[in-house]
A and B are shown apart, each in its own frame.
Chain A
Amino acid sequence: DVKVTQSSRYLVKRTGEKVFLECVQDMDHENMFWYRQDPGLGLRLIYFSYDVKMKEKGDIPEGYSVSREKKERFSLILESASTNQTSMYLCASNTRGRWDIQYFGAGTRLSVL
């Protein structure tokens, strides 16, 4: 079974803090994704990566950056957290051959106070 692991289930941070959300997958998938999920807005793509050291902006990249130094790990960085970044963050991965099917982690619920 594909396993996508997000390092934290719950995080509470203060405005202005630098926040790291980590995601690791164990299936040698080429593609990795970060989404945020908000009530009434659904899933919105923040960033994705097709390969190590590669990154592409999604629909809402503002206020976020990413890092992919190893194939299995994809990090989401909030340089200076703001209250409007309070959300559920979901990491996903898939293989180049079936980019339409996403395997999700359990999510990180981030609260910025």
Chain B
Amino acid sequence: TQLLEQSPQFLSIQEGENLTVYCNSSSVFSSLQWYRQEPGEGPVLLVTVVTGGEVKKLKRLTFQFGDARKDSSLHITAAQPGDTGLYLCAGATGGGADGLTFGKGTHLIIQP
């Protein structure tokens, strides 16, 4: 069973600060996804990365897939209250639904 460790579990910062969330594993993944989940809602896909070393940007969010495809990071620049939510990473090992592993998530609160 593959494990994805997310850190930190909880993060509360002031509006305008920068932050990084990490997703680490000892397993190699064929792709990795980041989702955001707002309270009372289901997760919504933000990005998927498939190539080692890949960097994708989504406005103030920067996602990076590790060179060895075992880890990923999410960096938010100038955080805003609208970024508040639960951020989940999920890694795919390439063979059906039982090859998909979710991290436990990072609860992010951006205070105005």
A102 CA / B100 CA spacing, docked (Å): 10
- A50: chain B residues at CB < 8 Å are 96-97
- B43: chain A residues at CB < 8 Å are 43, 90, 102, 104
Query: For residues 84 through 106 of chain A, which have their beta carbon under 8 Å from a beta carbon of chain B?
Result: 90, 92, 99-106
Residue count of chain A within 8 Å CB distance of chain B: 25
B102–A42 contact, CB under 8 A? yes
A4 CA / B33 CA spacing, docked (Å): 19
Counting CB contacts under 8 A, is A74 at the interface?
no
A101–B42 contact, CB under 8 A? no
A105 CA / B35 CA spacing, docked (Å): 13
Size range of the chain B interface in the assembly:
20 to 34
- B96: chain A residues at CB < 8 Å are 50, 99
A101–B33 contact, CB under 8 A? yes
- B42: chain A residues at CB < 8 Å are 4, 90, 92, 104-107
- A41: chain B residues at CB < 8 Å are 104
Closest to B42 in A: A104
- A56: chain B residues at CB < 8 Å are 97-98
Q: Which 3 A-B pairs have the closest CB atoms?
A: A104-B42, A100-B92, A42-B104
A-B contact pairs, 17 of them (CB 8 A): A33-B97, A42-B88, A42-B103, A45-B97, A45-B100, A50-B96, A58-B97, A99-B97, A99-B100, A100-B30, A100-B33, A100-B90, A100-B100, A101-B33, A102-B35, A106-B41, A107-B41
